[in-house]
Amino acid sequence: MKKKTQQFLADLVNSISPSGYEGPVAKVWKAEAEIFAQKVWTDTHGNSHAVINEGGSPRIMFAGHYDEIGFQVSYIDEQGFLWIQALGGWDTQIAQGQRVQISTKKGIVKGVIGKVAIHMQTPEERKKVSQMKDLWVDIGAKDQKDAEKMVEVGDPLVIDSGFMELSNGLAVGRAFDDRAGAFAILEAARLLAKANPAAEVHAVATVQEEIGLRGATTATFGVDPDVGIAVDVTFSTDHPNMGEAKKRENQIDLGKGPVITRGPNINAKLFDLLVKTAKEEKIPYQINAAPRGTGTDANAIQLNRSGVVAGLVSIPLRYMHSPCETISLDDLENTAKLLAKTAEKITPKTNFVPF
Ligand SMILES: [Zn+2]
């Protein structure tokens, strides 16, 4: 990956933007889109749009959500400790003992998620799983008044953990779910801006996926695409202790290419076109099965209005919903290439009626 491109990716991943608070990541994404897209805007829900080949046909929408899981301050107690609620699906065991960054009107406030020392726990307490209601944040405040000078109820926070490279082209980030997708759809649009597609292409970075596909629902209604491809992350099964997961998720490895999903949420002809394109362009790919509505933006896309031709391309990821989400940079580039090359093949004559 080129240095400049990798910096854009790192800037996306490092933006503090949990669901409902996507402002900082939108700024980074749009600044990059403005380099090459014909039209760039943010809608009233917070989804950001970049359009290529306006006036082309049919209309294709790529969706990658740019929110991340995080927390929200819900109470400041007499001693100045902050009590929090989850934005998205947390494994609370991961959150304990972490440093956090709170995004406030006055800027970033640093804190830590506290826990009673192991020495002070009874044998029963040591075996217990901590719950969300047990987590508090310490910002070093003297008391409630002091804390209220720094933070307000409703301020969002995330774990303080940024972009990092590992060996062999792997990278770690707090928010690869799904800044990886938001990155890939914009890189695909960049490739298409240099190509000559028949279609009008909308890359849409969606909000609030982690709390129920809310951004994709409104964005798809607004864009009204003929074809929509969601780009998200999916579970790789190439690390220890995944148990029986392979039997459901298939063998999915980092670095072996984007994962193309097959199942009722996916238009069968679009699936075939994605696979055919990968083969012709010699892009490595993997396949998984999803026997019901996927938990991704593809679900909202498919069910828009009278139905949209929906596809799902996923980037393999280890350790989902942790500050150590790990991906392969090659998979990201191959995902962008697969999206762009597939879009190039779609014309007004392409028939997606499944049977
Ligand atoms: Zn997620």
- The model's pLDDT over 105-147, given as tens digits with 9 standing for 90+, comes to 999 999 999 988 999 999 998 998 888 899 999 999 999 999 9
Q: Which two tokens stand for residue 251?
A: 């063998």
Dist. CA 77 → ligand 1 center (Å) = 30
pTM: 0.97
Contact 227, 61 (CB under 8 A): yes
What is the mean pLDDT, run by run of 10 residues, along the chain of 355 residues?
A: 96 97 98 97 98 98 98 98 96 94 97 93 90 94 98 97 97 97 98 97 97 96 98 97 94 98 98 98 98 96 97 98 97 98 98 95
Closest to 301 in 3D by CA, of 56, 64, 45:
64
Q: Is 54 a catalytic residue?
A: no
Say what the pLDDT of residue 129 is. 87
What distance in Å separates the CA atoms of residue 38 and residue 216, rounded to the nearest whole number?
21
Dist. CA 240 → ligand 1 center (Å) = 21
What distance in Å separates the CA atoms of residue 120 and residue 98, rounded to the nearest whole number?
19
Say what the pLDDT of residue 130 is. 85
Say what the pLDDT of residue 79 is. 98
Dist. CA 269 → ligand 1 center (Å) = 27
The residue from 32, 187, 209, 249 that is catalytic is 209
Looking up tokens 């491109």, which residue turns up? 5
Dist. CA 297 → ligand 1 center (Å) = 11
Q: Angle CA(47)–CA(319)–CA(247) in degrees, nearest 5?
A: 105
What distance in Å separates the CA atoms of residue 217 and residue 226, rounded to the nearest whole number?
15
Say what the pLDDT of residue 242 is. 92
Say what the pLDDT of residue 353 is. 96
What distance in Å separates the CA atoms of residue 44 and residue 139, rounded to the nearest whole number?
33
Say what the pLDDT of residue 154 is. 98
Dist. CA 54 → ligand 1 center (Å) = 31
Dist. CA 346 → ligand 1 center (Å) = 29
Contact 266, 310 (CB under 8 A): yes
The residue type of 231 is V
Percent of the chain clearing pLDDT 90 (strictly above)? 96
